[in-house]
Structure 1
Amino acid sequence: MKTLTLLRHAKSGWDDPVARDFDRPLNPKGQRAAAMVGRHMRALGLGFDHVAASPAVRVIETLAQVAAGYGRDLAPEWDQRLYLASAATLLDLVHELPEGADRVLLVGHNPGLEELVLLLADGGGALREAVETKFPTASLAELRFGDVAWEAISGGSAALARFIRPRDLDSSLGPDTP
């Protein structure tokens, strides 16, 4: 069975005066959320044969914090194509995944990640409805496929097994209230 886990970068700092969107760092809340998600991934026993990630600063920092919580380096393969990728581009990347990797983690950005989950997940259900409502920063979605090659993955071919938002783990990591 193939498992594809999608992780959106944690909350970044819009107040940081960087010249390019690509260079935006995490804010303190994002750092806390990423570490919390890493600890939860460890508690769930999630493991990965392959990790691919956008090289944007906020993704690099997210993975550093996730790794701190997870307890080990995730050793990502940095792929520029993941930066702000559309669902179609992400699906192309899924089709290129190494066949020997059964458990893959992709780390990137919205709206592409959310759209990919909605494209690949079969049927409805509460998890899909939650993704449709919002795929917040530092959220993780796990898609499970049958015994199929990555290159054969298509729309509606996955079961959405998990959708974990930081606020599900710690209410203080939920949306800011005015």
Structure 2
Amino acid sequence: MSNKKLYIIRHAKAEIPTWEKKDFDRNIMDKGAVRAQYIASKLKDILIVDDKTAVISSTANRAIQTAHIFCASLGFPVHNILQTKAVYEAYYQDILHIINQIPDHINTVLVFGHNPGLSDLTNYICNSYIDLKTSHVAVIDLEEGIDFASLSGGTGTLTQTITEHLS
């Protein structure tokens, strides 16, 4: 059995916060969409989407818009995105709790959300020290014998971070 993989993806660059618009309703900027598209195309080189793939997204505009860009590029049906407000402004343990609900037949999970929760989650799972920038992807391999239900601190390895820069 191949190891399960987790892809933690921070939303694309969003509009500057204003008093007129709630933070939750902020949209991604054009340059954010372009960068998300570019990074999604790099992710496509290493990720095969199949019926054992699940996508979870915060319901905040900027997260779901980012998820749509990535899913369109990867060939994942956008109507299958599991949208949950629980990822919005969530503490990393709360995001982990959502991932722990993933059924065993799923081998690949993509999570779209926000900092600091996503970076904190990655660092907790992998004992790493990263700060995800907008649209960046943390690629995590779960250790042998670990499924999403048993995922916890120190049970994953950060194998790469996909950015707009050549790594």
> Same fold by TM-score, threshold 0.5 exceeded?
yes
Partner of 2:105: 100
TM-score (norm 2): 0.86
Q: Report the Cα distance in structure 1 between the residues aligned to 2:67 and 2:147, rounded to whole angstroms.
A: 27
Aligned residues: 161
Q: Please tell me whether residue 164 in structure 1 is matched to residue 162 in structure 2.
A: yes
- The more displaced of 44-53 and 98-107 is 44-53
TM-score (norm 1): 0.81
Partner of 1:55: 59
SS of the aligned residue for 1:41 comes to: helix
SS of the aligned residue for 1:114 comes to: helix
What are structure 1's unaligned runs of at least 5 residues?
Answer: 123-127, 170-178
Residues 23-48 of structure 1, C-alpha deviations (whole Å, 9 max, x = no match)? 00011110101111111121223436
Question: Which ranges of 4 or more aligned residues in structure 1 deviate by more than 4 Å?
Answer: 15-18
Q: Report the Cα distance in structure 1 between the residues aligned to 2:88 and 2:74, rounded to whole angstroms.
A: 23
Q: Report the Cα distance in structure 2 between the residues aligned to 1:121 and 1:89, rounded to whole angstroms.
A: 17
Residues 1:94 and 1:70: Cα distance change in structure 2 (over 3 Å): closer
CA drift of 1:96 comes to 1.1
Residues 1:18 and 1:114: Cα distance change in structure 2 (over 3 Å): same
CA contact 1:36–1:66 (8 Å) conserved in 2: no
Q: Please tell me whether residue 138 in structure 1 is matched to residue 121 in structure 2.
A: no
SS of the aligned residue for 1:44 comes to: coil
Residues 1:60 and 1:148: Cα distance change in structure 2 (over 3 Å): same
Identity %: 25
CA contact 1:87–1:115 (8 Å) conserved in 2: yes
